[in-house]
Structure 1
Amino acid sequence: MLKDNPLLAQLKQQIRETIPTVEGVVKATEKNFGFLQTDNKKSYFISPPMMKKLIHGDRISAAIRENNGKEAAEPETLVEAALDTFVARVKFVDKRTKLQVDHPLINQLLSAKVIKDSGFSIKQGDWVLARLVKHALKEQHFQAEIFEFIAESDDNFARWKATTKKHQLAWDQPELTEDLAIIDQQVERRDLTNELFFTIDGENTKDMDDAVSITREAEHWKLKVAIADPSAYINSESKLEKAAKQRAFTLYLPARTVPMMPSKLANEHCSLVADQVRPALVCEMLIGLDGELQENAEFYLATVQSKHRLNYNQVSDFIEQKATELESNAELAEALQQLNLFSEQRNQWRAENTSVFGDQADYEFVLDNKGQVIDILRQSRRSANRMIEEAMVAANICGGRFLDEKLGFGVFACHSGFKEEKLDGLVELLAKFKLPVEREKLNDLDYFCQLRRTIAATGDKCLDQLVKRHFNFGVYNEKCLPHFGLGEAKYATWTSPIRKYSDLLNHRLIKSVINGETPSSPLSEELSEHLSDNRKKQKFAEREMANYLYCEYFAEQDPNTCLLAEISNINRGGLNIRLVDSGASAFVPKTKLAGKDEELTIESELGRLATKDKQYCVGDTISVKIVEVKKLQQSIVAAPC
């Protein structure tokens, strides 16, 4: 009787209309409760029973109820589900198929079934691709269907396969279905096979895409950068071209490289292997003895023959006088010394006139044949790395100038400096560090570079890191816009056409000009977004795989070992750090920095945290030990030693 009472229904509706509702995104925690974060950054508590109907990232509307002076969100309507297609591991619970979603903040198991006529079977621990078909907030329970098999549970590289699938990236090299032969035999190429070109790469590098030649003359260095020419083998309408476009970049995962082009093309036909004649695109440039790059660079097609296959450590040892192996070849030794002098002078000129960022170490995971981490090697940037880097940066500056002057379009690497919406905050930040600036000039390239040099001169790592948080992301543009990060008005990369599709496009444009053709712009807005999106996907995949391996590694290490770490960020919860010798990210909770009743002063906007005994700043180096490894969340917790 009461159930159908219209007066009761009306009363319920009136009560409901008096309860405020909000819309926001669900933020899960490692525990069973969560929060609803609105667009204006206000958070409301979500109780554990309510969280059982939600998934981290869901967008919902919720009623806000108050109890004992505390507000809490009561989910009402699903606006947009966080999960659609997802990667998961199979779990059998009471003979029922469940899925553990591969996400650190989604810990509930989802009921699932394999689609009909799938052609595969599943067992405990297998990796699969599934889609969510029912959501608990709408239909009382979660239900998923499994439609693709990824890897078996005992596959040593299952995690790699799952990660690439999760980020919609290829796991293996493109299929080679075409014969490889030079297709531009008719073009004129200069014969440089008798000149001293050499390559400097990693010890295990096979796709050697650049070789250099350098001589010192009375008033300048003459530097020739020869770049492998894959466009000599593939045309713009081929299957290989389409595969390269889809992949956009070579993917570098720990212990696994997924090439943009087939290895037979990248590692054999194109690679500038010592003593083998190869087609190349060459940039010949003059650099003043003060390090300034001259304007009169020349581009041309050539055939080259690298005379020496060198590696970074080998050359660095020679330059740093730690080995004499290369002294026996006087011509090569002189060329290496000149390349080093060029790079030092060029770097100094850039530091004084443009914008230079400090060296960052690289890290290499050493794995056994079962995919287990044996060791993590820190590889500092040495003299040979800087020699090649300065040569390539100079060549790409010349590429930007050439394309802008000859065509007025290209695939330019652009960086617009600071985010417009963050300029006011940046001005306030710099004022607190006693660095007053003119806001209206912050988007001027020269002013930006001068500010970067001023900050570098202070030696304040904290300020440097805080300012970088205001940077924009780099983008690709068909028009020549400045690259603030490098302090260059014109910049277009073309020196890695085997590994980067944008560089291959610029290769084709430069070759078109050389051959007297009139090309059209290859970069649409859609392609620009595709390149940027794929680079982001790759960075996420690379970081995710690294975090997984770091957790696997440190879970087996002595927890009492003290490790050096640099503070990368400070927030209200504690310190984000990066371990110096391994590159692993970790978190030091504030509870590990001070006692329960001890007062903390946290100024995250200034990169500072202080206890009664010690002050921590972004950029500081501290000694820590690992206290917990959370494999499911892929996070490492540390505490001061």
Structure 2
Amino acid sequence: MDQTFEKRKKVLYDFICDDFYIPMKIKEIAIVLQIPKEQRGELKEVLDALDAEGKIYVSKKGKYAKGQAKRLTGTFQANARGFGFVLQEGEDEDVFISEDNIGGAFQGDEVEFIITKSPDGKRKEGKIVRILSHGTTKIVGLYEKCKNFGFVRPDNQRVLKDIYIPEGKEKGAMTGHKVVVELMSYGGQDMKPEGKVIEIIGHINDPGTDIMSIVKGYDLPVEFPERVMNQAERVGKEVSEADMAGRMDLRDWQMVTIDGEDAKDLDDAVSLTLEDGSYKLGVHIADVTNYVQEKSALDREALKRGTSVYLADRVIPMLPHVLSNGICSLNAGEDRLALSCIMTINQKGEVIDHVIAETVIKVDERMSYTSVAEILKEQADDKLPQTESEKYSTLVPMFMKMAELSGILREKRRKRGSIDFDFPETKMVLDENGRPIDIKPYDRNAATKMIEDFMLMANETVAEEYYWRELPFLYRTHEQPDEEKIKKLSLFINNFGYHIHVGNSEVKPKEVQKLLGKVEGTPQEALISRLALRSMKQAKYTPENTGHFGLAAKYYTHFTSPIRRYPDLQIHRIIKENLRGRMNEDRIGHYESILPGVAAQASDRERKAEEAERETVKLKKVEYMQDRIGDVFEGVISGITKWGAYVELENTIEGLVHVTNMRDDHYDYREDQYELIGEHTRNVYKLGQKVMVRVLGADRLQRTIDFEFCGDDQEYDG
């Protein structure tokens, strides 16, 4: 007992919290900890202090025991390596659950748990004490038949056990079929979960089965109910004179849509003029609410879906195509109903006036990002053939003004600290059977960025107006990063000589922006950018405006995509009711009651859609590399871990060179430097290093790609 008082408390508390501890009296504790008789008074003093803090308690028999830990609830997320985490609603930091403390919990279960460790600056640890309800009722996986039973290997790596399928419950499934299984029991310590096949998706080698397995795995609704389709057919009529009555008529304004070549649902058009030295920017959004009435079958289905889902080989739309590609799509040359945000912007990029109005518009031309970017390039260099410029000569002056304004708006955002995580997205070219024939980085060209700038400006303008109107509204919010995560990021980047200023326990967006600027073009860029992104919180929808950290914006909403996002559709209703003078106390009360639920549903469906989209991209990348086993590529080391080096190719495909496949030496992992160093050769693999790799394997079930390093003299198949 020669430690300080606080240290003694910690030693005793750790001892009492030990799982093997049996409640003891002071004398028994003193004997076990070899504390002399004369120091037992001090021992009691420390124990009394712990008792006063509620950490331990004394039984009627004078025995000291661990205090009753507070029971918390959350959702269990399993990890393929056996451990897991519990996510609590409203908490950003999850709680680690070791394999021994899972207590039979299954992926997605609602559980009751206690905190067992809460170390300073580190993730809390816990133990599951009760399963409240099962969150997973269906599993998608690969069926394999045995003699008189079968089993299903789950696609979801978080489901840790195969599912046992008794004889007669396989619904005719054969080995190699992808199936949907309904769970009948969740198994136990030495028992597999048990289920029955309720749907056969198709054979693993059949075209489309792989993507449909992901669709089913994320429970994404594919077909629209008949009543929804019937309603869509009824309301999707051409715009009439009655529809246009009372609206601002903008059909004589010069305006265009600018989208990808393959886009079919065109929900935003733009116009721009220069008046008295200021830009008059119009962002005109399809008035979907005119066709999707609140509480209708269409509306209920749209809320259920929450968002359109863009997979590698298909789109699962939020609204039926008869609306999304028809009357709600701003097709060139056709009268369309819109909700327009018309902003007057000065040369500093400040909105000095704006109008939000119900309008009727007629788009002049359906433009593509590629075509507009080409026009801007031709205008910057008169030596180039002016092919696109001549084709769209009447629109060229407007595009040039748009490019000017885009630059002003982008610079204004940069100055206030807006963060641009410019990770290369993947563009895939598939054949008629859904097989990938080309994978390359998606080009964010000048036209893409221009439209981004205009949509951001409209979203901010609408959000600010409705914030000050103090009406119920849905905002797109992005909270301050968690203090602990920023501290960890700061410690990590110090290893590479970078610094991020954290003042008053919070970081400013500009500091993150500065960091990304400093690492740009360095070997550490990919890793530090990813770690910075992971230290951010997830953006979500909320009825309260708390600002958008990533954009360094005080006010932000989603106004510009009501065909594919429910929150945009929801705020259009609020805006229109306000414009029409109908926002009375009853309607305010109505929206205040429904918006928290709408925000939660939209945020949840968005996360599911993003996960499904990521999984389809991973799957197609694996399929692409399956045809290239043995080929050699050039890549860059994008991550270093104790189990190997991740290498990213120019086409955005990433694979792992596992340490077991580094056969020239035994490699040690230097955590502080993020390097792998050969024990004998002293060969070093580090972040950002250009390397040649050969494709060893590509696993469709695990969705992983394995590489091995090879010498510079290898033939490069690029």
Pair 1:144-2:195 in alignment: yes
Pair 1:572-2:572 in alignment: no
SS at match of 1:524: helix
Map Cα deviations across residues 85-136 of structure 1 (whole Å, 9 max, x no partner).
Answer: 21123322225333232234768653314888x9x64344333322333455
Once residues 57 and 214 of structure 1 are traced to their aligned partners in structure 2, the CA distance between those partners, rounded to angstroms, is 49
Within 5 Å, which residues of 2 pair with 1:578-597?
578-581=648-651, 583-592=652-661, 595-597=664-666
Pair 1:315-2:386 in alignment: no
Pair 1:379-2:448 in alignment: no
Map Cα deviations across residues 613-640 of structure 1 (whole Å, 9 max, x no partner).
Answer: 43523x6665433222122211012233
- 1:502 alignment partner in structure 2: 567
Choose from 435, 449, 453 the match for 2:510.
Answer: 449
In the TM superposition, residue 191 of structure 1 has moved relative to its aligned partner by 0.9
- 1:542 alignment partner in structure 2: 613
In the TM superposition, residue 371 of structure 1 has moved relative to its aligned partner by 2.4
- 2:312 alignment partner in structure 1: 254
Q: How has the CA–CA distance of structure 1 residues 640 and 302 changed in structure 2, closer, same or farther, with 3 Å as cutoff?
A: same
Once residues 634 and 155 of structure 1 are traced to their aligned partners in structure 2, the CA distance between those partners, rounded to angstroms, is 18
Letter paired with 1:389: E
On the 8 A contact 1:261/1:498 being kept in 2, the answer is yes
- 1:364 alignment partner in structure 2: 427
Once residues 291 and 135 of structure 2 are traced to their aligned partners in structure 1, the CA distance between those partners, rounded to angstroms, is 44
Q: How has the CA–CA distance of structure 1 residues 238 and 100 changed in structure 2, closer, same or farther, with 3 Å as cutoff?
A: same
- 1:477 alignment partner in structure 2: 542
In the TM superposition, residue 439 of structure 1 has moved relative to its aligned partner by 3.7
Letter paired with 2:359: A
Once residues 77 and 307 of structure 2 are traced to their aligned partners in structure 1, the CA distance between those partners, rounded to angstroms, is 33
Pair 1:437-2:501 in alignment: yes
SS at match of 1:542: helix
Letter paired with 1:417: Q
- 1:300 alignment partner in structure 2: 357
Map Cα deviations across residues 436-494 of structure 1 (whole Å, 9 max, x no partner).
Answer: 63441525xxx332452355245462544433332111121112111010010000111
- 1:101 alignment partner in structure 2: 154
SS at match of 1:299: strand
- 1:8 alignment partner in structure 2: none
SS at match of 1:132: strand
- 2:600 alignment partner in structure 1: 529
SS at match of 2:143: strand
On the 8 A contact 1:260/1:498 being kept in 2, the answer is yes
SS at match of 1:484: coil
TM-score (norm 2): 0.74
Q: How has the CA–CA distance of structure 1 residues 539 and 42 changed in structure 2, closer, same or farther, with 3 Å as cutoff?
A: closer
On the 8 A contact 1:282/1:299 being kept in 2, the answer is yes
- 1:159 alignment partner in structure 2: 210
Map Cα deviations across residues 124-175 of structure 1 (whole Å, 9 max, x no partner).
Answer: 4333322333455367554322234444666421222221111111224564
Choose from 163, 177, 184 the match for 1:126.
Answer: 177
- 2:280 alignment partner in structure 1: 222
In the TM superposition, residue 227 of structure 1 has moved relative to its aligned partner by 0.6
Letter paired with 1:166: G
On the 8 A contact 2:306/2:605 being kept in 1, the answer is yes
- 2:221 alignment partner in structure 1: 170
- 2:485 alignment partner in structure 1: 422
In the TM superposition, residue 214 of structure 1 has moved relative to its aligned partner by 0.7
Pair 1:616-2:674 in alignment: no
Once residues 689 and 352 of structure 2 are traced to their aligned partners in structure 1, the CA distance between those partners, rounded to angstroms, is 41
Pair 1:467-2:532 in alignment: yes
Letter paired with 2:693: V
Q: How has the CA–CA distance of structure 1 residues 99 and 596 changed in structure 2, closer, same or farther, with 3 Å as cutoff?
A: same
Q: How has the CA–CA distance of structure 1 residues 620 and 248 changed in structure 2, closer, same or farther, with 3 Å as cutoff?
A: farther
- 1:7 alignment partner in structure 2: none
Bigger relative contact order (CA 8 A; separation at least 6)? 1
Where structure 2 has 5 or more consecutive residues not aligned to the other structure, the ranges are 1-18, 23-75, 87-93, 114-127, 379-383, 711-718
Once residues 708 and 502 of structure 2 are traced to their aligned partners in structure 1, the CA distance between those partners, rounded to angstroms, is 41
On the 8 A contact 2:418/2:510 being kept in 1, the answer is yes
Within 5 Å, which residues of 2 pair with 1:259-278?
259-278=317-336
- 1:552 alignment partner in structure 2: 623
Within 5 Å, which residues of 2 pair with 1:407-418?
407-418=470-481
Once residues 272 and 476 of structure 2 are traced to their aligned partners in structure 1, the CA distance between those partners, rounded to angstroms, is 26
In the TM superposition, residue 284 of structure 1 has moved relative to its aligned partner by 0.7
Once residues 26 and 201 of structure 1 are traced to their aligned partners in structure 2, the CA distance between those partners, rounded to angstroms, is 40
SS at match of 2:263: coil
SS at match of 2:621: helix
SS at match of 1:303: strand
Choose from 347, 365, 371 the match for 1:289.
Answer: 347
On the 8 A contact 1:602/1:610 being kept in 2, the answer is no
Q: How has the CA–CA distance of structure 1 residues 357 and 131 changed in structure 2, closer, same or farther, with 3 Å as cutoff?
A: same
Larger mean CA deviation between 410-419 and 136-145 belongs to 136-145
Map Cα deviations across residues 170-226 of structure 1 (whole Å, 9 max, x no partner).
Answer: 224564111114698386211111111101111111110111111123432111011
Larger mean CA deviation between 366-375 and 620-629 belongs to 620-629
Q: Calculate percent identity across the aligned residue pairs.
A: 24
SS at match of 2:611: helix
On the 8 A contact 2:695/2:708 being kept in 1, the answer is yes
Larger mean CA deviation between 248-257 and 182-191 belongs to 182-191
SS at match of 1:221: strand
SS at match of 2:394: helix
SS at match of 2:545: coil
Letter paired with 2:571: N
On the 8 A contact 2:500/2:512 being kept in 1, the answer is no
Where structure 1 has 5 or more consecutive residues not aligned to the other structure, the ranges are 1-15, 47-52, 62-75
Once residues 703 and 138 of structure 2 are traced to their aligned partners in structure 1, the CA distance between those partners, rounded to angstroms, is 21
Map Cα deviations across residues 39-62 of structure 1 (whole Å, 9 max, x no partner).
Answer: 98586799xxxxxx998899999x
SS at match of 1:300: strand
Larger mean CA deviation between 369-378 and 279-288 belongs to 369-378
Larger mean CA deviation between 206-215 and 79-88 belongs to 79-88
Choose from 285, 291, 300 the match for 1:233.
Answer: 291
Letter paired with 1:231: T
On the 8 A contact 2:258/2:366 being kept in 1, the answer is yes
Aligned residues: 591
Q: How has the CA–CA distance of structure 1 residues 354 and 297 changed in structure 2, closer, same or farther, with 3 Å as cutoff?
A: farther
Q: How has the CA–CA distance of structure 1 residues 509 and 607 changed in structure 2, closer, same or farther, with 3 Å as cutoff?
A: farther
Letter paired with 2:560: T
On the 8 A contact 1:97/1:111 being kept in 2, the answer is yes
Q: How has the CA–CA distance of structure 1 residues 511 and 187 changed in structure 2, closer, same or farther, with 3 Å as cutoff?
A: farther
On the 8 A contact 2:143/2:178 being kept in 1, the answer is yes
Once residues 41 and 595 of structure 1 are traced to their aligned partners in structure 2, the CA distance between those partners, rounded to angstroms, is 37
SS at match of 2:243: coil
Once residues 146 and 317 of structure 1 are traced to their aligned partners in structure 2, the CA distance between those partners, rounded to angstroms, is 53
Once residues 535 and 236 of structure 1 are traced to their aligned partners in structure 2, the CA distance between those partners, rounded to angstroms, is 21
On the 8 A contact 2:259/2:368 being kept in 1, the answer is yes
Letter paired with 2:326: E
Choose from 84, 91, 114 the match for 2:144.
Answer: 91
In the TM superposition, residue 600 of structure 1 has moved relative to its aligned partner by 3.6
Map Cα deviations across residues 398-443 of structure 1 (whole Å, 9 max, x no partner).
Answer: 1111211223431100001311443443454465545363441525
Letter paired with 2:300: K
Q: How has the CA–CA distance of structure 1 residues 356 and 451 changed in structure 2, closer, same or farther, with 3 Å as cutoff?
A: closer
Larger mean CA deviation between 467-476 and 555-564 belongs to 555-564
Map Cα deviations across residues 235-262 of structure 1 (whole Å, 9 max, x no partner).
Answer: 1121111111000000000011011001
Once residues 97 and 451 of structure 1 are traced to their aligned partners in structure 2, the CA distance between those partners, rounded to angstroms, is 52
On the 8 A contact 2:204/2:210 being kept in 1, the answer is no
On the 8 A contact 1:28/1:56 being kept in 2, the answer is no
Once residues 271 and 336 of structure 1 are traced to their aligned partners in structure 2, the CA distance between those partners, rounded to angstroms, is 22
Q: How has the CA–CA distance of structure 1 residues 136 and 448 changed in structure 2, closer, same or farther, with 3 Å as cutoff?
A: closer
Letter paired with 1:163: I
